[in-house]
Amino acid sequence: MKRGLSVLAVVVLLAALAGCAGSEPAATPTPVATPIAETAALHAIPADSVAVTGTATCVFSQEGVDPTRGDNTDLVTCELDMSDPRVSGSETHNRFRYFWPEGEEAGVWVAEEAIITNSEGTWRGTAQAVDDGTPVGEARYVGEGAYDGLVFHYYFGDLGAGHALVHGWISSAE
């Protein structure tokens, strides 16, 4: 009888230990810092496109804007430093429209005239963003000159102090 009791005691002890092990909280995984360009949803990139990443360094001003055209008097000028030289160069956003609900801290802006220029050609298009002080948005350009027949589409995220992270693609206009 003593022997039967000790086997039963061991089985109960093992069951109790197994139950305790299962009730402990799971370890919290350590977050891993991954650049935004690597985690971006690039499923929308058309086949036979070239993915590009880079940065934009921007300055906001009112110089060079013609207020007689009825445009908003904002002008954004950026230098794009991209992984593909075809879309690196000087970028300007002009002719802004703003959609800010009264009393709200965030809104939407649209630059109806966006241009990228470099020594080989020009890209013309539009840009838009949701803006709560750190805008996140997208732009779409159609190539001219050496870039005729191409489209450049990108997403950007404001990094603060006039800097933005840019990622997108160059594809055929067809």
Q: Is residue 1 part of a domain?
A: no
CATH code at 58?
A: 2.40.350.10
Instruction: With beta carbons less than 8 A apart as the criterion, state whether 138 and 159 touch.
Output: no
- Any domain includes 112: yes
Question: Which whole-number Å values give the CA distances from 99 to 26, 65, 128, 130, 156, in the listed order?
Answer: 46, 20, 11, 10, 19
Residue 44 lies in a domain: no
Q: Into how many domains does the chain fold?
A: 1
- Asked whether residue 5 is assigned to any structural domain, the reply reads no
For the entire predicted model, the pTM comes to 0.70
Residues of the domain holding 69: 50-172
Q: Would residue 69 count as lying in a domain?
A: yes
Flag whether 26 is in a domain: no
**pLDDT values of the chain reduced to their tens digit, one per residue, 174 residues:** 444 443 333 333 333 333 444 444 444 444 334 444 444 455 678 878 999 999 999 998 866 555 555 555 578 999 999 999 999 999 999 888 888 888 898 999 999 999 999 999 999 999 999 999 889 999 999 999 999 999 999 999 999 999 999 999 999 987
